[in-house]
Chains A and B, each alone.
Chain A
């Protein structure tokens, strides 16, 4: 079979998954007496209805892209980096910590922002490598190690917000004291997004694309991901590559966490990772680990997130419905992949 034909069939099956997911969500809506057409048009309108909304979509797009870029590396090495949420959180904590250190000093705020973001990347990388070390040296499966590290990161975050870093006289889950505006990443006009965030995620996309497609390192990671034993026999240093995959992923997750602090919330909040880590894992699976699809699919997921706000306001539906749509999308597309393999296999 010609490769182009295989690709067409592939796309057909993926579209089938998409249709099934929308059909499934429509069914749910019909069951609760809501109009699916109205719901989907609200989602669309809520995401692209005006420039403010489009800008909000890009605020969400940035961390999702970065995180998805990160998990592609670990996925390529055959690793399930469930600990990504914790890595985002630790990145945010490191970033906040550095800004706090320089708050009342004469150090140039631009320098502080850069340092804090580097610290965030370092924090994310450390937390990811920790999961890697647990896997490589202690035999703790990265899924369980990652889950555990997520819990620890959350606990640490809450401990800091409610304790050591709480606002003067206040202990609240609403977060730490907002930083003065000089420590905010500048936003574009009155919109919520920053060109710097967009630029960083585009750079991230390019780096990951070439790292995975065009370097020996990417090739070796693939070999490790396909089969550790064969990779080892080929002379690839397997555990080092696993750790490196974690490290790269952690850097991206840490950067996402850092941007959540300096560009979005301007303070540390308990849910700073906002579930973007898990969303990145979902997107990674959905796009079958191909970097080329990260940007558009992340845009689609971000648009769903922002558009979903309309559902409770206008239709009194729960915004969680968009989560159902995202989740079922992944499930149905994976399901269709399975179906495709069976069908093609029989041919």
Chain B
């Protein structure tokens, strides 16, 4: 009897506590949708002028890849814009932070004083939109998203959101060219993350760059170039949930691939290339995302196409601070004057120590051609299933490239 009584008392207490706390939202800092929570937060009292921006990183902040590139961009903003401070949360994905959502974690950054939140992954799109809607007074930068692209397919008018993305298509074309110049077996492997429009267009760009250099610089038959992609299922390895990128890289190497282009956020391709090279089988890799990615295994690194988010973030955070914020979708090109200028370019390509001097000259020639207006997204180009993508002489529009529905003919691997 006594136990039953205790049980009931506990249950009633808990439920009533819940009702009491939940029914009086006005007594506490307001729920997110109604009021700008950050204004009422007492926390940022030390420096009233400080502007706090928060960042949600999909991977570890030090992944030598996508997330580190964002993290360093945040540091760049702090260096160049006095009065700003970054707070961040990394490994924001449901496998690493079970039971949470990106929108919920963004709220936590706001609770800590963030007036602007960066969502750094396309994967967070639904959460970014939900959060932006519910927090009209918090600025949001969704990197790699397309939600506020008026001509895009997922347009949602959100005055407090900005979309930023670099034209990595160029970086990947350069990577593809670099791979084609160095392959001895004529086999290039693309270590793919998950499959979506973004990753399809980047794989296709790599293929276009590889084809161009293979044919025009080396004078080879296009049919002799083998280009295939294997997808692991996410931006990085999540044991038990994704394919193991180490195994995929090995599978490439065991089946004749001697240059691996990485599309994932981490550096497994480099590590496996070094291992194979150490065993007498020369294999190169081209990592992705982060300017310092080659450091993991410099001797087998041909180069890295990298994102430079700093200047764009600096611009948007400045405009948030001085009240000139505007909701825009930006797909930013490299600074063709110097594609590796940290203050001006949106994407770049750094040659790695594995690059041979002869090929370096050829690769520079290719970069110069791109800078001069060379467009590889010109027909005739077919989709993987043989249907026509672009007729002879037809140029792809931004829309067609961004929303590439299939891989291109000549690429082996899943399109969706």
**Residues of A that sit less than 8 Å from B by CB:** 46, 49-56, 58-60, 154, 158, 162, 166, 168-175, 178, 188-192, 198, 202, 205-206, 209, 213, 264-265, 269-271, 274-276, 291-292, 295-296, 299, 305, 309-310, 312-314, 319
Structural contact, A50 and B111, CB atoms closer than 8 A = yes
**Interface code B396-416, partner A: CB below 8 Å = 1, 0 otherwise?**
000000000100000000101
Structural contact, A274 and B31, CB atoms closer than 8 A = no
Structural contact, A171 and B21, CB atoms closer than 8 A = no
Question: With the chains together, A175 CA to B28 CA distance in Å?
Answer: 34
Looking at chain A's contact residues, the main secondary structure is helix
The interface centre, meaning the residue of B11, B98, B416 with most chain A CB atoms within 10 A of its CB, is B98
Question: With the chains together, A306 CA to B126 CA distance in Å?
Answer: 21
**Interface code B98-117, partner A: CB below 8 Å = 1, 0 otherwise?**
11110011011101100000
Q: How many residues of B contact A (CB 8 A)?
A: 55
Interfacial chain B residues near A191, Cβ < 8 Å? 22, 31
Structural contact, B4 and A213, CB atoms closer than 8 A = yes
- Given A50-B29, A213-B4, A296-B10, A173 contacting B98 (CB threshold 8 A): no
- Nearest first, the 3 closest Cβ-Cβ pairs linking A and B are A274-B98, A172-B194, A171-B195
**Least CB distance, B180 to chain A, in whole angstroms:** 27
Interfacial chain A residues near B93, Cβ < 8 Å? 173-174
Interfacial chain B residues near A291, Cβ < 8 Å? 7
Structural contact, B21 and A54, CB atoms closer than 8 A = yes
Question: With the chains together, A202 CA to B32 CA distance in Å?
Answer: 28
Interfacial chain A residues near B3, Cβ < 8 Å? 213, 292
Set A59, A173, A305, A312: member contacting B238, Cβ < 8 A: A173
Interfacial chain B residues near A209, Cβ < 8 Å? 4, 7
Structural contact, A202 and B15, CB atoms closer than 8 A = yes
Task: Show 18 residue pairs from A and B whose CB-CB distance is below 8 angstroms, ordered by the A residue.
Answer: A46-B108, A51-B22, A52-B107, A56-B104, A172-B196, A173-B238, A173-B242, A192-B101, A213-B3, A265-B94, A270-B95, A270-B241, A274-B94, A276-B99, A295-B10, A296-B14, A309-B89, A319-B97
- Given A169-B416, A170-B196, A270-B241, A50 contacting B28 (CB threshold 8 A): yes
A-contacting residues, B43-71, CB 8 Å: none
**Residues of B that sit less than 8 Å from A by CB:** 3-4, 6-7, 10-11, 14-15, 18, 21-22, 24-25, 28-29, 31-34, 87-90, 93-95, 97-101, 104-105, 107-109, 111-112, 123, 126, 134, 194-197, 231, 233-234, 238, 240-242, 405, 414, 416
Set B25, B33, B89, B94: member contacting A312, Cβ < 8 A: B89
**Least CB distance, B107 to chain A, in whole angstroms:** 6
Question: With the chains together, A271 CA to B63 CA distance in Å?
Answer: 22
**Least CB distance, B95 to chain A, in whole angstroms:** 5
Interfacial chain B residues near A53, Cβ < 8 Å? 111
Structural contact, A271 and B241, CB atoms closer than 8 A = yes
Structural contact, A169 and B197, CB atoms closer than 8 A = yes
Set A158, A206, A310: member contacting B241, Cβ < 8 A: A158
